[in-house]
Amino acid sequence: MSQTSLTYPWFVRKDLDGFFGLMIDNMIQLILIVSLCRELIHLPDPYIFGRILPGAAMSILVGNFFYSWQARQLARETGREDVTALPYGINTVSLFAYVFFIMLPIYQETKDPIWAWKVGLVACFLNGAIEIVGAFIAETVRRMTPRAALLSALAGIAITFISMDFTFRIYAQPMIALLPLILILLSYFSHQRFPLGLPGGLVAILIGTGLAWGLGAMAGKPWNLGFVLTRPAWAGDSLWEAIWHPAFLNYLSVILPMGIFNVVGSLQNIESAEAAGDRYRTFPSLMANGIGSVAASLFGSSFPTTIYIGHPGWKRLGARSGYSALNGIFITFLCLTGTIQTVLHFIPLEAGIGILLYIGIIIVAQSFQETPKEHAPAVALGLFPALAAWGLLMVESGLKAAGKSLFEVGLAPFTQSLAIHGMISLERGFIFTSTILAAIGVFLIERQFFRAAFWSLAAAFFATTGIIHAYDLTPGGITTRFGLFAAPEFAISYVLLFVLFFAVGWWERR
């Protein structure tokens, strides 16, 4: 079909399924922002609902519209009608990192929630700046990295931080959540049509909401139909005040790796989209991503936005470009009107999280299906760092539930039953370690020993500077330790791997 004759609709019926899934995912981030900023940072509601959420709304709206437009452009260029927009929203990992490792320590030290918010603005701004700089080199990195290495890291995150969490939530409320999940699988696994042609995601949410209200699970919640129109306000002066404060330098150890993490994560998501059939140009995709985070910080949000994991799942649902634009409009409405709590009082999260579990399943499946069959062991090898990160999160969550922290308990009680030092070391910079291990695995399978040696040398550099494996246990939590020879035992080990692979390659060449 020619570019001129292609009719790419603004909205298709399956966009509703994609919208409900992405909307639920975005709403979870907004819930976390409200609850964490209220309960941990004690930030006043006028700052949460009057500064952070409107700032986030600007970034989410503009970003979703850009990626929707980008999908339409790709459809015209390729003459295809099945192009799916890249999903976009607030990054969950960055959200937790900024709250627990930047804003919370500042509040505990100064008892000033407003100052914690201001430093969060700078962190979000610098994160966007790192993504903008990364856009200029990302395509080169993408060409040098095997697909199995990029997809394996995503699969690890999908198994742990997406699928496991949502599976636990579903089985914690089986009477409400299990039937909607099966309806999702019936729709997307079996391609079963529902009466009146209703989308499977919509049917699942309607049934789940009905079960929740019918079983009394929603009873007793305060009902508030408050509607307060708020517009984004310029926060550049607050950002400028914090960026020149000497104390801000103490948190670069969190901001720098999170910025790099977001660049690599977005790169992997673009590769995942290409594996699903949609090849987006790397530079504009990452540039828009970085600009979105910078804009969010300038208008009051402390939390960066990014290209989301899950494009293959949305594509399998049949979503195109309309789901992204519709999500941006709806989330902006929630943020600018203060009605997010009203929606949550009416629709339980359990009614829609089956869609997100499905997305996690598709991502894991894609990492094996869209790479050469012989690379499957390398994909499996790259899963382990994410499993370590998730395991450490479970350990810390268990201790927190008991009123303790890992710093208070210490590492000694875990050494007999759990190699806690190895778990923490593997967790630090796990997305980089996952990519490196999977890349080494691919090149060993392909008997390209010199390229495996190159990746081992890269790992040695990352370990030397502290990007991977190096950590300190502090009262505020586990922090990355940067500096020369930050993780010397790992740096030396990777150098030995470099020597080994180089020697084998030299011997084979002879």
The per-residue pLDDT for 301 is: 93
Same domain for 445 and 326: no
Domain membership flag for residue 6? no
Residue 466 falls in which region: left (phi positive, over 0), alpha (psi -120 to 50) or beta = left
Instruction: Please report the DSSP string for 422-451 in residue order.
Output: HHHHHHTTHHHHHHHHHHHHHHHHTT-HHH
Same domain for 419 and 330: no
Same domain for 509 and 386: yes
Domain membership flag for residue 48? yes
For 63-79, what is the mean pLDDT?
A: 92
For 373-379, what is the mean pLDDT?
A: 94
Q: Which helix (H) or strand (E) holds 471?
A: strand 471-474
- Judge whether residue 386 has pLDDT over 70: yes
Rounded Cα distance between 101 and 78, Å, is: 44
Q: Which domain holds residue 396?
A: 374-510
> What whole-number percentage of the chain has pLDDT above 90?
33
For 196-224, what is the mean pLDDT?
A: 78
Rounded Cα distance between 421 and 432, Å, is: 18
Backbone angles phi, psi at 269, to 5 degrees: -70, -35
- Mark 208-241 as b/e (b = at least 16 C-beta within 10 Å): bbebbeeeeebeeeeeeeeeeebebeebeebbee
The per-residue pLDDT for 463 is: 94
- Structure-token pair, residue 447: 């008997």
For 458-484, what is the mean pLDDT?
A: 86
Same domain for 434 and 292: no
For 140-155, what is the mean pLDDT?
A: 82
Same domain for 386 and 329: no
Q: Which helix (H) or strand (E) holds 392?
A: helix 384-401
The per-residue pLDDT for 327 is: 92
Mention every residue, 6+ apart, whose C-beta is less than 8 A from residue 358: 21, 184, 185, 188, 313
Q: How high is the mean pLDDT of the chain?
A: 85
For 369-388, what is the mean pLDDT?
A: 91
The mean-pLDDT minimum among 8-17, 275-284, 286-295 falls in: 8-17
One-letter amino acid for residue 507 of the chain? W
Q: Which residue has the tokens 């079996």?
A: 190
- Judge whether residue 5 has pLDDT over 50: no
Same domain for 393 and 363: no
Same domain for 165 and 81: yes
Domain membership flag for residue 223? no
Domain membership flag for residue 227? no
The per-residue pLDDT for 207 is: 92
Domain membership flag for residue 157? yes
The per-residue pLDDT for 498 is: 97
Q: How far is CA 27 from the centre of its chain?
A: 14
The per-residue pLDDT for 4 is: 45
The model's pLDDT over 96-127, given as tens digits with 9 standing for 90+, comes to 667 876 788 788 778 899 998 998 898 899 88
- Judge whether residue 380 has pLDDT over 90: yes
> What whole-number percentage of the chain has pLDDT above 70?
92
The per-residue pLDDT for 144 is: 84
Q: How many domains does the chain have?
A: 2
Q: What share of the chain is helix, strand, coil (3-state, %, to 5)?
A: 70, 5, 25
- Please state, as a whole number, how many other Cβ atoms lie within 10 Å of the Cβ of residue 315: 23
Q: Which band of pLDDT confidence, cut at 50, 70 and 90, is reported for residue 369?
A: confident
The per-residue pLDDT for 24 is: 76
- Judge whether residue 507 has pLDDT over 60: yes
- Judge whether residue 162 has pLDDT over 80: no
SS (H, E, C) 51-85: HHHHHHHHHHHHHHHHHHHHHHHHHHHHCCCCCCC
Same domain for 279 and 415: no
Domain membership flag for residue 225? no
- Helix pair 15-39, 322-337: axis angle to 10 deg: 30
Boundary (domain end) residue, out of 352, 371, 390:
371
The mean-pLDDT minimum among 38-42, 228-232, 373-377 falls in: 228-232
Boundary (domain end) residue, out of 313, 347, 371:
371
Rg (C-alpha) for the chain, rounded Å, is 23
Asked if 130 and 259 touch (Cβ cutoff 8 Å), the reply is yes
The model's pLDDT over 444-457, given as tens digits with 9 standing for 90+, comes to 999 999 999 999 99
Which of 7-21, 156-170, 421-435 has the highest mean predicted lDDT (pLDDT)? 421-435
Q: Which residue has the higher pLDDT, 222 or 144?
A: 144
Rounded Cα distance between 429 and 257, Å, is: 8
Boundary (domain end) residue, out of 371, 390, 408:
371
The mean-pLDDT minimum among 283-287, 394-398, 403-407, 474-478 falls in: 474-478
Q: Which residue has the higher pLDDT, 484 or 105?
A: 484
Same domain for 389 and 367: no
- Judge whether residue 45 has pLDDT over 80: yes
Same domain for 285 and 136: yes
For 449-467, what is the mean pLDDT?
A: 94
Same domain for 462 and 339: no
Domain membership flag for residue 357? yes
Domain membership flag for residue 229? no
For 86-101, what is the mean pLDDT?
A: 77
Rounded Cα distance between 95 and 261, Å, is: 13
The per-residue pLDDT for 495 is: 97
Same domain for 337 and 297: yes
